[in-house]
Amino acid sequence: MHPAVSLWRAIVGNPAFRDIPYKVETTRGGQILMSPASNWHGSARAQVGFALRKGRKGGEIITECSVLTADGVKVADVAWASDAFMDRHGYRTPYQAAPEICVEVISPGNSPDEIHHKITLYIAKGAQEVWVVADDGSVTYHDRDGQRPRSALVRTVQITKRR
């Protein structure tokens, strides 16, 4: 078993990590990274999930979707996995491949370099698209060819942020 998978399973099973208000990820070297979540972050994740449910038939919407990458386990805020992906991978934790759509909602602590790195990691693991939701609710779409003006997989995505 890959060392990062062993570490991830230990984290998931550790009672010290239950009910913490943080998103947890790991690095290639085994460091544990925790990012605090905001209410806006939760709202954006829910809105993305609704947009995916409306825009894609079948499949699964997964929040906090863990994916083993070349740089440890990363956790997409939201993901859409097709029925075919789910038939192949089920609910293994972490996934060895990325679902078709992985979404990152930017948190105040995220740097542009970190987000770009995650886009690259998810695409390298098979994601067809990576969406990035900015603090103002705008969404950018990325695939193997770089940033694109809209999603090729979902017709309309609108994220609204109240003041």
Strands (E), the chain: 22-26, 32-36, 60-69, 72-81, 101-105, 129-133, 139-143, 146-148
In a domain, 7, yes or no: no
In a domain, 11, yes or no: no
Q: What is the pLDDT of residue 62?
A: 97
159: pLDDT strictly greater than 90: no
In a domain, 95, yes or no: yes
Q: Considering only 22-36, 80-94, 129-143, which range has the smallest mean pLDDT? A: 22-36
10: pLDDT strictly greater than 90: no
In a domain, 70, yes or no: yes
Quote the pTM value: 0.89
In a domain, 103, yes or no: yes
In a domain, 84, yes or no: yes
CA-nearest of 53, 52, 81, 47 to 67 is 81
Q: Considering only 13-17, 62-66, 141-145, which range has the smallest mean pLDDT? A: 13-17
163: pLDDT strictly greater than 80: no
- CATH classification of the domain holding 65: 3.90.1570.10
Q: Is residue 58 very low, low, confident or very high in pLDDT (cuts 50, 70, 90)?
A: very high
| Number of independent structural domains in the chain | 1
Q: Taking residues 116-131, what's their average pLDDT? A: 98
126: pLDDT strictly greater than 90: yes
In a domain, 163, yes or no: no
Domain interval for residue 60 = 37-148
In a domain, 4, yes or no: no
